Amino acid sequence: YAFDAAIVREPAPSVVNGLRAEDRGDPSFDGILAEHAAYVQALRDAGVEVTVLPALADYPDAIFIEDPALVFTEGAVLLRPGAASRLGEAGEILPTLRDQFGQVFDLPQPGFAEGGDVLTTRDAVLIGMSARTDRAGAEGLVQTLAVLGRRARIVETPKGVLHFKTDCSLLDEESILMTHRLEGTGMFPGHRAVVVPAGEEAAANALRVNDVVFVGSDYPRTIEMLDNLGYKVVPLKTTEIGKIDAGLSCMSLRW
């Protein structure tokens, strides 16, 4: 969670047509712009140098730039999103990855994987199989990560949950914020589980960046809990992006 740099992508007006599992009404474009701008500012305030890529009108979900790639200081992996409408986002980010990283690996064929299913912890990179990341994709990613010198482990994303990280995020080396349904699964050996209060499950997609933790401002009980545990919380509005199933990790690639 110590990051110097990040890449984000400006939202296009088409973002209001972003994918969603359940229709709770379209988000407002102005609302998304404001949430995105506050997020970029919060990254900069946390000491991160942010590269802002232009909007992509043809890809409504392209603002969620975490999904088509995976980045580390030592190199990047170009992924293959499992959502058909998002597959082309990978080609769009490739030139930027080539610019910024010494080595860029392709996810081996066949299979699909999205960055929202990947949680980097102290000991291993966890890859959650989901409706977007299949077994072939997860296994291909394990092989690629081995080349990058990273140990990886395949786990299950709970059924009906979009991405593995929809339900968990790193708070520090030892601690993982997670939903109740992930607690006790044994997926995080050696880690302390910090469980989000019932009714605030969507708060589990928080984002630790350097000294601070970004948390959705719609989740006051989670904010209070983390505050009491001594974390420096930066509340950020996720009301509009939440309508298209997004949270705080998905709007950037960080390294």
Residues that bind ligand CIR (CB under 6 A): 18-20, 61, 64, 66-67, 83, 86, 116, 162-163, 166, 244-247, 249-250
Is 168 a catalytic site residue?
no
- Burial group, residue 21, by CB count within 10 angstroms (0-12, 13-18, 19+): exposed
Q: Identify which of residues 159 and 227 has a Cβ nearer to ligand CIR in the complex.
A: 159
Point out the catalytic residue in the list 163, 168, 180, 191. Answer: 163
Question: How far apart are alpha carbons 188 and 164 in whole angstroms?
Answer: 13
Ligand-binding annotation for 66, yes or no, is yes
8 A C-beta contact, residue 43 and residue 7: no
User: Is 163 one of the catalytic residues?
Assistant: yes
For residue 23, the minimal CB distance to ligand CIR (Å) is 12
Q: Least distance to ligand CIR from the beta carbon of 254, Å?
A: 12
Rg (CA), the chain: 17
| Residue 86 in marked binding region | yes
Name which of 58 and 211 has its Cβ closer to ligand CIR. Answer: 58
Answer yes or no: is 132 a known binding residue.
yes
67 is in an annotated binding site: yes
Smallest gap, in angstroms, from Cβ of residue 166 to ligand CIR? 6
Q: Is 45 annotated as a binding residue?
A: no
Residue number, 26 or 227, with CB nearest to ligand CIR = 26
If the CB atoms of residues 35 and 245 are measured against ligand CIR, the closer one turns out to be 245
Question: 44 CB contacts (<8 Å, ≥6 apart)?
Answer: 50
Q: Which position among 36, 168, 191, 250 bears the catalytic label? A: 250
What are residue 192's DSSP bridge partners?
175
Instruction: Please name the residue ranges forming H helices in the chain.
Output: 29-45, 89-100, 135-147, 220-228, 239-242
Q: How many CB atoms lie within 10 A of CB 143?
A: 12
Q: Under 8 Å CB-to-CB from 35, ≥6 apart: which residues?
A: 236, 237, 238, 239, 240, 241
User: Which residue's beta carbon is nearest to the bound ligand CIR?
Assistant: 116
Q: How far is the CB of 130 from ligand CIR (least distance, A)?
A: 10
For residues 160-189, one letter each, b for 16 or more C-beta atoms within 10 angstroms of the residue's C-beta and e for the rest, the string is ebbbbbbbbbbbbeebbbbbeebbeeebbe
Q: How far is the CB of 200 from ligand CIR (least distance, A)?
A: 17
Give 20 or 180: the residue with its C-beta nearer to ligand CIR: 20
CA atoms within 13 A on the CB side of 176: 25
Annotated binding site for substrate: 19, 61, 66-67, 86, 132, 244
- Name the residues annotated as catalytic: 163, 250
Annotated binding site: 19, 61, 66-67, 86, 132, 244
